Amino acid sequence: MSKNDRIRKRQVAQGLESHVDEAAKLARKLGLDPYPVNYWIVDHDEMNELIAYDGFQKRYPHWRWGMNYDRQRKQRQFLGGKAFEIVNNNDPSHAFLQKSNSLADQKAVITHVEAHADFFRNNRWFRLFDEGASYGGVDGSPTTPGSGPDAAAMLASHAETVTEYMNDPEIDREAVEEWVDHVACLDGCIDQHRAYRPTEEWERESPETDDEADTPEELAISEEVRDEVFDEEWREEHDPGEDALGEKDLLAYLAANGRAYDEETGRAVEYEEWQRELLELLRRESYYFAPQRMTKVMNEGWASYWESVMMTGENFADDDEFVSYADHMAQVLGSPGLNPYALGLELWTYVENRANRREVLEKLLRVEGVAPATFDDRVDLDEVLSLLEPVPEIANVVDHLDELDADDPRVDSDGLTAARDGEFDVDSYPWKVLSHEGLVERHYSLVQPPNRGFLKRTTRETLEQIDRYLFERDRYGSVREALADVEYGAGWDRMFAVRESHNDVTFIDEYLTEEFVEAGGYFTYEYSHRQDDYRATSTDPADVKRKLLLQFTNFGKPTVTVHDDNFGNRNELLLAHQYNGVALDVPQAKRVLERVFELWGRPVQLLTVVKEVDERDVKAASRRGQEPEPEEVGVRYRYDGDGFERIDVDREEWPPLSVGAVGYDTKPDEWLE
Amino acid sequence: MGLREDLERFREVGEQRRQDLAEFIQYGDLGASRPDSVKVPVKIVDLPEFEYDQRDMGGVGQAEDGEPEPGDKVAEGEPDDGDGDGEPGEEAGEHEYYEMDPEEFARELDEQLGLDLDPKGREVVTEREGEYRDIRRSGPASTLDFDRLFKSGLKRKLATDFDEEYVREALRIDGWGPARAFEWAREERVPVSRTWLEDAYDDIPADERDRWRSRSEMESNVEQEQTSTRIRREGIDSIPLRREDERYRHPETIEEKETNVVVVNIRDVSGSMQETKRELVERTFTPLDWYLTGKYDNAEFVYIAHDAEAWEVEREEFFGIRSGGGTRISSAYELAADLLDEQYPWSEWNRYVFAAGDSENSSNDTEERVIPMMDEIDANLHAYVETQPSGNAISATHAEEVERHFRDNDDVAVAYVQDAADVVDAIYTVLSTEDTDE
């Protein structure tokens, strides 16, 4: 980096210092609890590098990062280097700001980053990795309980380890790279819902699954006796599916039980030390990154929500920056397709409104004489909304500075004194004179223009639902009295609770509404065999939701588990695709199987269900104006190091069906013309 | 950062990976390529994962202005969740392509399949205009070699130029006159004429004619100025451009041997040709086209679609067309014969005639008309590619009949493609048949 460059970066950094400090304070006052964030100023190319490395400065050597970088560079050439935020899950977090961004963009990025840092720190899925801490000695684990990961150090140490092995004259560099490739193919094959444990611990903890002695073939009895005692009926009852190992963490399983394939002797041999270490290292990275992959929609929506509160709600953007900020937001949220920012933001807004509405309805239903049946007659919602409006001095502190009372719990008395002494400009920092409670009231969602209809759209059903669990009825004499008791913080409190416990799947499942699907014009599409293209199939919100969930469940990938580690009593590894009605990409799965062979050292098999469509069926269905019904066939693919063999299997041998195996197909019975 | 190395390594891996052409041909996205540029998706470089079958997975899209409605086609590119940014472990929705030209493609395929097809047969001598090296004295104004004209003029100017003041001083030597000065000028190689000297002498006032007592006195007092110095000082007001200096440039005529190939692609587009069959034809024909483009200097393509009738189409339409109607394969050969005779004489063109379909044909057409025409049409190679995903229909015997009849010929190839996995074998069958041909 040239001297000029450094100076320029320092200038940018100095210009941002106060904004960074203020954003961190504002975030905390709003109720966020972020990791401390270190901000770095980087240039365009450094930004590309950081993105390629998933937000870190050092990663182990691998061509994949080069590929990411190449892609990133090309993509950004066309996007014109738009404001990019990158922040990593680290305690403290590191956020990178691009030197060339406008000040409005930098501010937006900073507010966005604070919210991400809060999410990293408080979402429980991120703790699954940190919990590895209790096993001591794991790189990247928090040094003190309760603090977050030191991921930058972990990844840097991984980089060193891999580099050392690559440079080791005793080890073939290509072999190291290939080994990394093999393992990386199973990147998503971990048990992301369980806490990370180093493989040794994992082995100790995992329930004893070795029940091979229970199968007739393992008993030391003659074949005749065996067939006599263990007849068909017995075997059916003891369906292999029930005995299946069902282990989802393939990487741990292989680390504990795998062998390398030695080409010279054609035999399975124990892993070399470096192979074992690299496998574990990559598995650890998978666990580290998994929470981010599980909470993409939530996390981006969360950051967009708080960014908007800070930037527009609290004047973090100056008046003249506001237009460019609004433009930037419109671009981010308006990008076509299923956009995690827009989806997440919508869902969070819904969470907030729903909780606030519930709070209001619970109060209203306690007014004497108000019940679901009489609600419409007794309650004027326009009046309710105007009663809920924040008081003027809170809504507009700038014009009411003199009227604020330092003893009001909604007022930050120190801030008020400082403002009155002219220590800062209240126009720019209105939030400084308010407490958290004040901010809660100031940002109350139900009275804001976009949400005003929310309360009015309350259905009788919702009222009855709330009413059913209500106690202390007839507590209030009037609507006004009831509303005076409304907790303005209900929405945000709920949001904080949801951000702690949910992941994308549960989040979408719980909060994606019909209204959202209809308003957004979302539809599902399916492939048409007859037309050989994709056809829109349904706008039914339930269909859209199921289809969406498919894209988020298990990272949007099929679940593959260890089914049997001694298949056919030949030490073959049998993996099972937990079939949920959607078929595997078989050519690709076969390529994965080739890699698994290298990690198992012996033949490997994959049990799945394929869908076959006969030309004749297509023809016949076409004549009826329908789509052909594919035939589902249970199949085992076996790879022995040389080639593949396909074995069709009977229904009894099918892979275990995954729960909710039905319903991803949204094709109508009568295919629409 | 180590990223530079990662990038370099990625390029290397990419290079290795894109050699895996068989996979690309069988399963890759051929649609991104053009006839002159083969684009192998870099995605293939990426590591495999357990993933859902894209088609079976379907997806969620967002309508614009109420479009599309259920039943409508979803716009191209929609089958993507639009999640384009780099999330850990996720790949961007965009495809990247590794581009290679057809020559490289042909080389790679040769290597991979162990082919060694030399473009044999007719080599045509063509006259090509080379660079403008040939110089003539006449020609169109635009080809006038002005540089050369100017240089000639300048040379002439230099040749006739002299330091006039210096020569005038010579005329001022006591006792000299034009005659003596002329002798001196010849001696000194000053390009001055006697007439000029005489005129100049007349202009010199009489009292100046004895300024110098001797030649040596003049030469030691007056400095002769070099022409180049003078030109640099004064510039050139006029260069004598003469007609006789004009030269016109003409292109060199280069005689070159060039290999020409015409590939006739024939496809059955009748009702029985379902989508899968069409796709298999495209998978087989497209790489053949690339290969031959890469092998020959000049490749041209003719696309013929047929049901019971045949018509010529553009490449863009060729693989997509569907029609109703029956099937009469000979119609295509009739059209091919006409087109070849008119535009691609056998004396000048290597010819490949590739036909594909599901082997269904109207009764007796194969034996009575197609086979005789295949015999009749001169070509390096005739091929028929049967694309029949679900085994043979009983009536579909065209391929077998052709194969039986031409069993002993080495310029007819018949290949069977049941699914994408057979495509590379089919290509090998076709190209290796030609290989052993001559």
Q: What is the pLDDT of residue B82?
A: 37
Same domain, A543 and A421: no
Q: Exposed, middle or buried by CB within 10 Å (0-12, 13-18, 19+), for A250?
A: buried
Same domain, A487 and A359: yes
Same domain, A371 and A488: yes
Same domain, B262 and B228: no
Token pair belonging to A204: 């100790």
Token pair belonging to A171: 């080890």
- Residue B229 to residues B189, B233, B235, B314, B325: CA-CA distances in angstroms? 18, 6, 10, 68, 88
CA distance A600 to chain B (A): 17
Same domain, B152 and B8: no
- Whether A40 and chain B come into contact, CB under 8 Å, resolves to no
Asked if the model's pLDDT at residue B136 lies above 50, the reply is yes
- Residue A240 to residues A233, A565, B34: CA-CA distances in angstroms? 13, 13, 52
CA distance B309 to chain A (A): 23
Asked if the model's pLDDT at residue A215 lies above 70, the reply is no
Token pair belonging to B36: 């002159």
Task: Please give the angle made by the CA atoms of A218, A221 and A222, to the nearest 5 degrees.
Answer: 115
Nearest to B81 by CA among B93, B71, B70, B69: B93
Q: At B374, which amino acid appears?
A: M
Asked if the model's pLDDT at residue A32 lies above 50, the reply is yes
The domain containing residue B242 runs over which residues? Answer: 141-249
Across the A:B interface, residue pairs with CB atoms under 8 Å apart total 243
Instruction: Point out the domain boundary residue: B68, B100, B132.
Output: B100
Q: Establish if B314 belongs to a structural domain.
A: yes
Same domain, B287 and B230: no
β-pair type (A37-42, A522-528): unpaired
ipTM: 0.87
Considering chain A, what is the average pLDDT of its residues? Answer: 86
Same domain, B197 and B215: yes
Q: What is the pLDDT of residue A574?
A: 96
pLDDT in tens, A472-519: 888 999 999 999 999 999 999 999 999 999 999 999 999 998 877 887
pLDDT in tens, B87-126: 322 333 344 566 677 887 888 788 777 777 776 555 555 5
Q: Establish if B366 belongs to a structural domain.
A: yes
CA distance A539 to chain B (A): 7
Q: What is the pLDDT of residue A635?
A: 95
Q: What is the pLDDT of residue A275?
A: 97
Q: Establish if B388 belongs to a structural domain.
A: yes
Considering chain B, what is the average pLDDT of its residues? Answer: 78
- Residue B291 to residues B248, B288, B294, B381: CA-CA distances in angstroms? 43, 5, 5, 14
Find chain B residues with C-beta within 8 A of A51's C-beta: 86
CATH of the domain at B344: 3.40.50.410
Give the residue on B whose Cα is nearest the Cα of A619: B274
Same domain, B45 and B181: no
Same domain, B149 and B201: yes
Give the residue on B whose Cα is nearest the Cα of A672: B71
Q: What is the pLDDT of residue B77?
A: 47
Same domain, B243 and B309: no
Q: Establish if A163 belongs to a structural domain.
A: no
Same domain, A645 and A594: yes
Over residues A246-261, the mean pLDDT reads: 94
Same domain, A487 and A630: no
Lowest-pLDDT range of A307-321, A637-651, B122-136, B218-232: B122-136
pLDDT in tens, A307-352: 999 998 888 887 777 777 777 777 767 666 667 888 899 899 999 9
CA distance A669 to chain B (A): 12
Find chain A residues with C-beta within 8 A of B2's C-beta: 58-59, 61, 65, 159, 163
CA distance B60 to chain A (A): 4
DSSP of A164-175 = HHHH-TTS-HHH
Q: Establish if A269 belongs to a structural domain.
A: no
Q: What is the pLDDT of residue A279?
A: 97
Q: Establish if B396 belongs to a structural domain.
A: yes
Same domain, A416 and A530: no
Q: Establish if B420 belongs to a structural domain.
A: yes
Asked if the model's pLDDT at residue A80 lies above 60, the reply is no
Beta strand spans in A37-107 (E): 37-42, 86-87, 93-98
Over residues A179-204, the mean pLDDT reads: 92
> How far apart are alpha carbons A621 and A528 in whole angstroms?
11
Choosing among A46, A332, A341, A585, which should be mutated to test the B contact, i.e. which has the most B CBs within 10 A? A585
> How far apart are alpha carbons B115 and B106 in whole angstroms?
9
Would you place residue B83 in the very low, low, confident or very high pLDDT band (cuts 50, 70, 90)? very low
Q: Exposed, middle or buried by CB within 10 Å (0-12, 13-18, 19+), for A208?
A: exposed
Looking at the structure of chain B, the number of domains it has is 3
Nearest to A321 by CA among A112, A102, A16, A115: A102
Q: Establish if A257 belongs to a structural domain.
A: no
The domain containing residue A357 runs over which residues? Answer: 340-517
Q: What is the pLDDT of residue B140?
A: 61
Over residues A460-469, the mean pLDDT reads: 92
pLDDT in tens, B341-366: 999 998 888 899 999 998 888 888 99
Q: What is the pLDDT of residue A590?
A: 95
Q: Tell the residue number behind the tokens 């919210």, with chain if given.
A: A115
Q: What is the pLDDT of residue A222?
A: 57
Task: Please give the angle made by the CA atoms of A29, A33 and A35, to the nearest 5 degrees.
Answer: 125
- Residue A45 to residues A41, A107, A224, A275, A535: CA-CA distances in angstroms? 12, 21, 72, 34, 41
Percent of chain B with pLDDT over 90: 13
| Torsion of the alpha carbons at A322, A328, A329 and A333, rounded to the nearest 10 | 160
CA distance B271 to chain A (A): 10
Nearest to A293 by CA among A118, A560, A555: A555
Asked if the model's pLDDT at residue A524 lies above 70, the reply is yes
Would you place residue B64 in the very low, low, confident or very high pLDDT band (cuts 50, 70, 90)? confident
Task: Using CB atoms, pick whichever of B7, B70, B79 lies closest to residue A537.
Answer: B70
Nearest to B282 by CA among B189, B206, B385, B363: B385
- Residue B406 to residues B376, B384, B402, B436: CA-CA distances in angstroms? 13, 11, 6, 15
Asked if the model's pLDDT at residue A285 lies above 90, the reply is yes
Q: Establish if A198 belongs to a structural domain.
A: no
Task: Using CB atoms, pick whichever of B1, B7, B58 lies closest to residue A524.
Answer: B58
Q: What is the pLDDT of residue A214?
A: 46
Same domain, A392 and A487: yes
**Hey, are the CB atoms on A522 and B274 less than 8 Å from each other?**
no
Q: At B126, which amino acid appears?
A: T
Which pTM value belongs to this model?
0.67
Asked if the model's pLDDT at residue B139 lies above 50, the reply is yes
pLDDT in tens, A605-628: 999 999 998 888 888 888 887 888
> How far apart are alpha carbons A603 and A566 in whole angstroms?
10
Would you place residue B332 in the very low, low, confident or very high pLDDT band (cuts 50, 70, 90)? very high
pLDDT in tens, B380-432: 889 999 988 776 667 788 988 999 998 888 889 999 988 888 888 888 888 88
Q: What is the pLDDT of residue B81?
A: 39
Same domain, B200 and B262: no
- Tell me, what DSSP letter sits at residue A449? G
Same domain, A457 and A557: no
Q: What is the pLDDT of residue B241?
A: 67
Would you place residue A593 in the very low, low, confident or very high pLDDT band (cuts 50, 70, 90)? very high
**Hey, are the CB atoms on A547 and B79 less than 8 Å from each other?**
no
| Torsion of the alpha carbons at A359, A364, A370 and A372, rounded to the nearest 10 | -30
Q: Establish if B118 belongs to a structural domain.
A: no
Q: Establish if A169 belongs to a structural domain.
A: no
Task: Using CB atoms, pick whichever of A70, A544, A666 lies closest to residue B10.
Answer: A70
Same domain, A534 and A620: yes
Find chain A residues with C-beta within 8 A of B274's C-beta: 615, 618-619
Would you place residue A211 in the very low, low, confident or very high pLDDT band (cuts 50, 70, 90)? very low
Same domain, A425 and A539: no
- Whether A75 and chain B come into contact, CB under 8 Å, resolves to yes
Beta bridge partners of B92: none
Q: What is the CA radius of gyration of chain B?
A: 39
> How far apart are alpha carbons B215 and B185 in whole angstroms?
12
Q: What is the pLDDT of residue B127?
A: 57
CA A12 to chain centre: 33
Asked if the model's pLDDT at residue B225 lies above 70, the reply is yes
Instruction: Point out the domain boundary residue: B249, B281, B304.
Output: B249
Choosing among B42, B43, B47, B80, which should be mutated to test the A contact, i.e. which has the most A CBs within 10 A? B47
Q: Establish if A413 belongs to a structural domain.
A: yes
Q: What is the pLDDT of residue A121?
A: 95
**Position with higher pLDDT, B255 vs B328:** B328
Q: Which positions 585-614 of A are in contact with B (Cβ < 8 Å)?
A: 585-589, 591-592, 595, 611, 614
**Hey, are the CB atoms on A615 and B390 less than 8 Å from each other?**
yes
Nearest to B12 by CA among A63, A595, A165: A63
Written in H, E and C, the secondary structure of A62-74 is CHHHHHHHHHHHH
Nearest to A486 by CA among A447, A432, A435: A447
Same domain, A499 and A579: no
Same domain, A314 and A391: no
Task: Using CB atoms, pick whichever of B13, B96, B276 lies closest to residue A71.
Answer: B96
Find chain A residues with C-beta within 8 A of B89's C-beta: 187-188, 286, 289, 293, 555
> How far apart are alpha carbons A95 and A88 in whole angstroms?
7
Asked if the model's pLDDT at residue A241 lies above 50, the reply is no
Percent of chain A with pLDDT over 90: 60
Number of alpha carbons in the 13 Å side-chain half-sphere of residue B307: 11
Percent of chain B with pLDDT over 70: 73
Answer whether A657's CB lies under 8 Å from A579's CB.
yes
Asked if the model's pLDDT at residue A171 lies above 80, the reply is yes
Answer whether A562's CB lies under 8 Å from A245's CB.
yes
Q: Which CB contacts under 8 angstroms, 24+ apart, belong to A18-23?
A: A19/A106, A19/A107, A19/A110, A19/A316, A20/A110, A22/A316, A22/A429, A23/A107, A23/A110, A23/A111, A23/A114, A23/A310, A23/A316
Highest mean pLDDT among A461-465, B165-169, B219-223, B394-398: A461-465
Nearest to A482 by CA among A399, A647, A368, A405: A368
Q: Establish if B351 belongs to a structural domain.
A: yes
Task: Using CB atoms, pick whichever of B6, B60, B277 lies closest to residue A62.
Answer: B6
> How far apart are alpha carbons A415 and A430 in whole angstroms?
9
Same domain, B429 and B328: yes
CA distance A619 to chain B (A): 8
Give the residue on A whose Cα is nearest the Cα of B90: A293
